[in-house]
Structure 1
Amino acid sequence: MLQPAQISDYPKTETKLAGRKDFPIYRNISKNGGINAFSSTKYFKTGLLQSQRFAKTKQGIFDELYVNGRKVGWVNQKFFLRNEISVAKHISLVRNPYYNFPTQDAIAYLVNKNGTLINPNQVKVSQSQISSAEPGNYRISFHYKNLVTYAHVQVRNNLNEGITVADKIPIPGPKESKSFTGSSRSSSKNWNYENGYQPETEINKYNGNNSHTMKTRFYQPRFHLLDYYDNSELDQVGVIPEGINLFNNHLLVSYFSQPNSSHGHLVTYNLNKLIDPIQSQNLLTMSWTDFKRTSQNISVSPYLNLGHGQSLGMTKKYIYVLANDNKEANSANSEILLQISRKNYQIKHLWTLKVWNHSSYFPRYFHNAYIINSHLMYAVFHNASKTSYEYWRLTRQGNSWTPTEISATQSNFVNNQSPLQGFTYANNHFFLAFNDNLFMVNRSGKVLKHYHFHTLRETEGVAIRKNQPYIELARRPELLKVN
């Protein structure tokens, strides 16, 4: 007769990362190990993995596994990635006397001997900051208990890199359209205390100007976690989306737990498989078959430095993030560009870049950008003093990024100093998204279309697929297709 295993509680919910091998999942646990294998970890490796209990057995330590907040079963702890610090191996900084690079921002993740994610701020770094004032090469060590790894940092030679001329004459633009500033004024139907923040059951449709409509394409789950109240920012995926990207119908969303956080999570949803706009909200109640299929098409990153999270890009292999600071009004600081593997969320490359008009007295600090690949990105700059928006192209050769102003539009676009909430580029057009407003601008800076809606919900990013705009709304996170 099998003897029951002694099950112990973790002090708090622990978040894990999947390792490189697959293991069986068991319904029960005994002193000898797992009992009644019924599934495999191969279906759940990309989700948010968590555990509250563990058991010591003759086959090793087993964890009671939760995936995206749902109890799955018992799995050997060898399934998890353990004893590893992952940092960007290639770090290249633009020469800039006004910027010090915080080395902890190069950390992708830290997992301890139990496979538990540890906050990156617990990693001891041999040098907390690196000045980019003078060219040079540095070898930086990262320590956590008995773990150590290294990164090589280069400060590039050319002090003039990124210094350019912004001389495009703005094209006259539209009068300021009505918008609102601050947080959302409204929410989706069930996103409130009275309805318990339950999943939505109906498709939203908003009518706009000029016969435009906007219709729900995909509601995102409120959380991807086990217990909202027992999770730190490291473990909490949601509830604030800040930016989106679409690539081959894969939706990338940046999530934060607090409005002013600079660290958060990236989540990718494969909309080629997640066809139902409503179903993915119901991770805890859908059938096991649907849950297994849905989990295979959701990928959750560890806790990363994402800046404001509105400047994203995605290719088949990589995710790109311009990790900027939206609290920077317009400084001469450098900005961090990350190249992150979609397979394992390791940071492959980290660059910094700067854009100055003539000198550091006239910087162009970008709050919104769209990264096409590791050699090309587009950015937009609000020149408030001249009541205009400037459009920029940045290209990379070697490790150096060269900025070129493309054009400008003479307008603030919206009133109330409402901030730009999303920016993208497609088919030789720029798209600028504000709360309840979307503008399409050609490369010369001329506004061709204006979509205006009345949602009173904060816009959190814009993307284009097959010439169709998509808008992300907050409260609840919701992707809408503009027709």
Structure 2
Amino acid sequence: MKYSKKILTFVSAFAVSLGLFAVNANTTFAASNSKPADTSSTKVAKSTKSSSSKADGSKTNKKQKAGTQRVTGYAMMTKVAGNKNYKVWKSVSGGHVHTKVTDGITYRYNHIQSDQSVQTKKARYWRIYVDGRKVGYVNEKFFARNQIAVPKTVSLVRNDNYKFNTRDAISYATNYMGTVVDNSEVNVSKDSIACNKPKTYNVKYTYGDATATIKVTVRKSTKEGIASASGVTAQPGTNDYKPWKSHYGSSDNYISPTEFTPDNTRHTFNSGDLTLKTRFYQPVLLSVQDPGDDNINRVGHIPEGITVSDGWAYTSLLSHLNLLSGHVVGYDLNKLTNPFHAQDLLTMSQKKFTNYVKHIKVSPYIPIGHGQAMGSTKKYIYTLVNDHTLKESPDSEELVQIRKSDLQINKMWTIKTWVDDASNPRYFHNGVVVSDTDMYTVYHDIKNNCYEYWELTRKGDNWYPKLVGKTDGNFVSNGAPVQGFTYDPVNDNFYLAFNDLIFKISRKGAIKQTYQFNTNGREIEGLSVSNGRLYVNLAQRAELLESTKIK
């Protein structure tokens, strides 16, 4: 994100409102048209006194000498917490901090923003917002400054049709104040890597004093990603179902991303032998609501995929539909047992808020893709980064491995699936990772009027595709897109969602059960199976549903 700003400096002759409390201070505002001020190039401006302040300046300066501070306002920016703990204070006035709120390390894995700094004689403090809520002030040393977070390795499948964007491997880059900068501002020794021949590159990333290096390897195999579609018989299917093609409704109290109040209705949806009940309403935003914010700052409001693992629900969020990068948010459902409280982050008490957000994690702004293609294992979350505008493309797709511990990129691969050669590709919009070496995907073969189910197995860093099942027909008659796909390894079934419809399908492609739910026009945005239950995420506002035991 390229920052442009103007600095306006003045000395107030009266008490200046400083965030949570009023103070007397020299104040500098860093103004920006639409983006956060570039704190990497910001220097605290020297004050210019007004004539009124000169009249009694000497007396005032003597009284305030011990408590001098300078306040600088900014457009909203994103910060990253470091590894060391610093206290969060309720206010800064007279050059001193007052009243401890909590330990900053409590917010280490949350989304932190700031729009104001306070320079005292001893330190610079930043007013911070956590998951969209103003909480207080923290020493600048709390932030991860001059850092670039990247994985150690990236492994790319050979593909003459594809170049890898090396900036996609960045979890975040920060300047000397701990402010996140746009990946485009990071200097990279090689902007992209052609994948037409095997080779290993050491790619260096630099921004200011921050540096990082990763090893990027184009794999050797010429057979990887080449598969056959013969030998698998399509199972009888259908074209009979007609869901609505796009959403037309919302939850009771959701009007738009800028106009909503908390929902308080527990839903129960029944169809056949499957019952879905409200488990967890998610916040619309986990960032400060600001119509001028950018994609790094904004967490939400469009849910894409969902994966549930070890009692945690992880969802991928986009801020705009034309993006392939966004945020992954994790909620510890073992601790967050009330389905409604996550909607009250801005209104609950400070103590309750601090205890509550310990059980929420927010990733940096990373590639997540547009389709419902997620999965999780013991240590990792996975996203298959697909472009929903590509249909029959020979492009490779990025598979991102994200650490559960801090929701940063741990490793990246690219994969491809071609039937015989690049002229007959399978570009996947939906998939689910079920182990660190196994993934299932679904592909709508429009030419042959069927759906295909693929298993991709990793050996070393190579991913090998195999067609495991087919279903004749299109399931639906109106071209509605797939809105969710997952796999139940215990009962060996796929689940496929189209808005208000869910199909249970055998591994070979036979339709075993069809479920249709009256969701009042709300789309399904992702499916997941965990602990013998099916999880369904609804949009507008995001509401996680949990099923009875599946079989």
Judge same fold: TM > 0.5, yes or no: yes
Cα separation, 1, equivalents of 2:475 and 2:506? 15
Q: 2:259 aligns with which of 191, 196, 204?
A: 196
237-246 or 421-430: which moved more? 421-430
Q: Post-superposition shift, 1:174?
A: 3.4
462-471 or 74-83: which moved more? 462-471
191-200 or 370-379: which moved more? 191-200
1:480 aligned partner, one-letter code:
L
SS of residue matched to 2:224: coil
220-229 or 432-441: which moved more? 220-229
Q: Quick one: higher RCO (CA 8 Å, sep 6+), 1 or 2? A: 1
Q: Post-superposition shift, 1:31?
A: 5.3
Partner of 1:95 in structure 2?
158
Q: Post-superposition shift, 1:124?
A: 2.1
Contact 1:33/1:58 (<8 A) preserved: no
Partner of 1:205 in structure 2?
268
Partner of 2:143 in structure 1?
80
Cα separation, 2, equivalents of 1:6 and 1:227? 29
Q: Does the C-alpha gap of structure 1 residues 482 and 178 become closer, same or farther in structure 2, counting only changes over 3 Å? A: farther
Partner of 1:256 in structure 2?
318
Partner of 1:170 in structure 2?
234
Residues 198-241 of structure 1, C-alpha deviations (whole Å, 9 max, x = no match):
1112223334x336443221110111112322421111011100
Q: How does 1:79-478 map to 2 (within 5 A)?
A: 79-167=142-230, 168-182=232-246, 184-192=247-255, 196-207=259-270, 209-210=271-272, 212-426=274-488, 427=490, 428-455=492-519, 456-478=521-543
Q: Percent identity?
A: 38
137-146 or 330-339: which moved more? 137-146
Q: Does the C-alpha gap of structure 1 residues 5 and 191 become closer, same or farther in structure 2, counting only changes over 3 Å? A: farther
SS of residue matched to 1:237: coil
1:223 aligned partner, one-letter code:
L
Cα separation, 1, equivalents of 2:194 and 2:304? 30
Q: Post-superposition shift, 1:8?
A: 2.1
Q: Post-superposition shift, 1:43?
A: 2.3
Q: Does the C-alpha gap of structure 1 residues 468 and 356 become closer, same or farther in structure 2, counting only changes over 3 Å? A: same
Q: Does the C-alpha gap of structure 1 residues 61 and 188 become closer, same or farther in structure 2, counting only changes over 3 Å? A: same
SS of residue matched to 1:296: helix
SS of residue matched to 2:254: coil
1:157 aligned partner, one-letter code:
K
Count of residue pairs the alignment pairs up: 481
Residues 273-298 of structure 1, C-alpha deviations (whole Å, 9 max, x = no match):
11111111010111233212210011
Partner of 2:8 in structure 1?
none
Q: Post-superposition shift, 1:150?
A: 1.7
Flag structure 2 segments of 5+ consecutive residues without an equivalent: 1-62
1:180 aligned partner, one-letter code:
W
Cα separation, 1, equivalents of 2:463 and 2:166? 21
Partner of 1:12 in structure 2?
75
2:518 aligned partner, one-letter code:
H
Cα separation, 1, equivalents of 2:347 and 2:214? 44
272-281 or 449-458: which moved more? 449-458
Cα separation, 1, equivalents of 2:235 and 2:141? 60
SS of residue matched to 1:293: helix
Q: Which has the greater radius of gyration?
A: 2
Q: Post-superposition shift, 1:107?
A: 1.1
Q: Post-superposition shift, 1:384?
A: 1.4
SS of residue matched to 2:352: helix
Contact 1:77/1:115 (<8 A) preserved: yes
Q: Post-superposition shift, 1:169?
A: 1.1
Contact 1:308/1:325 (<8 A) preserved: yes
Q: Post-superposition shift, 1:254?
A: 0.5
Cα separation, 2, equivalents of 1:228 and 1:219? 22
